[in-house]
Amino acid sequence: MPSRRRHGGVDKDRPPPMPVAAPLTYPRWIALALARALQADDASPRAREADALQARAEQCLGAEARPWLKPLCVALARWTTPVWRAHSVSSLADALLEIGAFHEGFDRERFPRPTVRRLLLRPSRMRPLPFALEHLALPDWPTEADLAAWLGLTLDELDHFAGPARQYRESVATPQRPHVTPTPHYRCLLVPKRRGGLRLLEAPLPRLRAIQRRLLDGLLNTLPCHEAAHGFVPGRNVATNATVHADQDFVIRFDLRDFFPSIGRARIAATFRTLGFSDAVVDRLTTLCTARTPLPVRERLREGGSIDSDGAKRLASPHLPQGAPTSPALANLCAFPLDLRLDGLAHRFGARYTRYADDLVFSGPATLRRDQRAFRAWVQAIVEDEGFRLRHDKTRAMPRGGRQQVTGIVVNAKPNLAREDFDRLKAELHRLGRSSASGTVDPALRSPLLGRLAWARQFLAPARVEKLQRMFDAIAFDAAR
């Protein structure tokens, strides 16, 4: 089975990894205090030289820590500026815990136990953007107050939508503890699927929706996603997705299970942290864009066979809600590593790759069909390694001899509307035309029909387009209604 190679160790010339929550042990508490002291005033000239770092460290822990602080600060002084600037307090504390000189300070036979004598603090700041993103003009949100002001909220209002209460685990409220159940900000809708089962839509209430829309327009839509992503991307759509796979010998399509719920809080926070926001701002942004599905809704979905136990666990944890304005853009950003690896895999097999939401499509020469067993194993390994799952019942292998269909578009020779879709639209126009012969047709049907005509126009021959247009023009819509 293919596997992803992993490397251990700490590289001082590499930016810090995305931090994860760590238990607050005594060494970590000392590391956090020391990290704050080391970062205090670190933008001043020569502030990151070993002597300057040691002076601030001694103010924090006392002069008696000098013997083991000196080699520690000498090691830190060797870090490059980009690496140093990329660290938050939390990630710098994690890095200190990886350095042997730090742990020497806890040798009780040689040194007294480290204690915090003084906390040195610095104003919150944004970290530099990573390589290739320096050109982005992101909002300046060093603190939670800056984020609240940008959103047009007070800090109390920001607490209402993204405060600690939003992160409580599911529990039963009592008169003594009414706060354990946070105020719901989403309305859950269960929509029947065409092939059976229920689809969960979690729609934010109007006030939260307006906040998320502002985040989408002012931040998320300015960020680049992978070129293979065609869903919910300005300038790309179902047609551009299908065009990539036209006139290919072999097309194979995979489907991701529970795409939005599979993107949890940690992955979203890592995305925001990559953009240089402080941990406090990252926490608020992540909470604004995630939801927990209530227990009764999860039980209804399980009863209907729409989710399994793993799916219920994902919904119980903070996840991207399908129905929030911010979710599609965040999903594309969080899926960037998946797209990057699958695009590289496609290149290795001489194939092409695109993703439209949860649909993964590959196409290429006849050799891809010959090697599809190994190819499927690689796709599954990469998908699972990135934290997603495949729906094997929806995998479709489509050689040139049969119909090759991508997101509803036939791509055997060129992108074309499926015959049954054309016949369905023609039958609808014919029915409404006959109805208008004996009266007028509801004008509310006009705009949807125009949309379907505009969609079909992209893939039909001019003669067919002209025929459909004549049938539409023959419909008499009631102008008085």
Distances (CA, A) of 289 to 180, 213, 268, 284, 481: 20, 11, 9, 9, 41
19: amino acid identity, one letter: P
Compute the distance between CA of residue 429 and CA of residue 104 in angstroms, rounded to an integer. 81
β partners of residue 322: 324
Pairing of strands 352-356, 405-406: unpaired
Please, are residues 311 and 258 in contact by the beta-carbon 8 Å criterion? yes
Q: If we measure between CA atoms, which residue out of 334, 300, 297 comes closest to residue 316?
A: 297
Burial class for 477, CB neighbours closer than 10 Å (0-12, 13-18, 19+): middle
Residue partners of 461: CB distance under 8 A and separation at least 6 = none
Strand pairing class (405-406; 409-410)? antiparallel
* Residues 238-269: b if buried by 16+ CB within 10 A, e if exposed: beebbbbbbebebbbbbbbbbbbbbbbbbbbb
**pLDDT tens digits for range 92-108:** 999 999 999 999 999 88
pLDDT of residue 88: 87
What are phi and psi for residue 139, nearest 5 degrees? -60, 145
What is the length of the chain?
481
Q: Mean pLDDT in each 10-residue stretch from start to end of the chain (481 residues)?
A: 41 47 84 94 89 94 89 94 88 93 90 90 82 86 95 95 77 59 82 86 96 96 95 91 95 96 95 92 96 91 90 93 96 96 97 97 96 97 96 94 92 89 88 78 84 84 87 80 54
d(CA 336, CA 295): 31
User: How far from 321 is each of 119, 192, 275, 297, CA to CA, in Å?
Assistant: 40, 17, 22, 13
Contact 390, 254 (CB under 8 A): yes
The residue with tokens 């103010």 is 59
DSSP 156: H
Half-sphere exposure of 356 (CA within 13 A, CB side): 17
Distance CA 109, CA 95 (A): 25
| pTM of this structure | 0.81
CB-based burial of residue 73 (10 Å sphere; 0-12 exposed, 13-18 middle, 19+ buried)? buried
What does the pLDDT read at residue 160? 92
Q: How far apart are CA 380 and CA 384, in angstroms?
A: 6
Residues 387, 389, 392, CA angle at the centre, nearest 5°?
165
| pLDDT at residue 266 in the model | 94
Backbone angles phi, psi at 278, to 5 degrees: -70, 165
Burial of 447-460, coded b for 16+ CB within 10 Å and e otherwise, reads eebeebbebbebbb
Q: What is the CA angle 326-329-330, rounded to 5?
A: 75
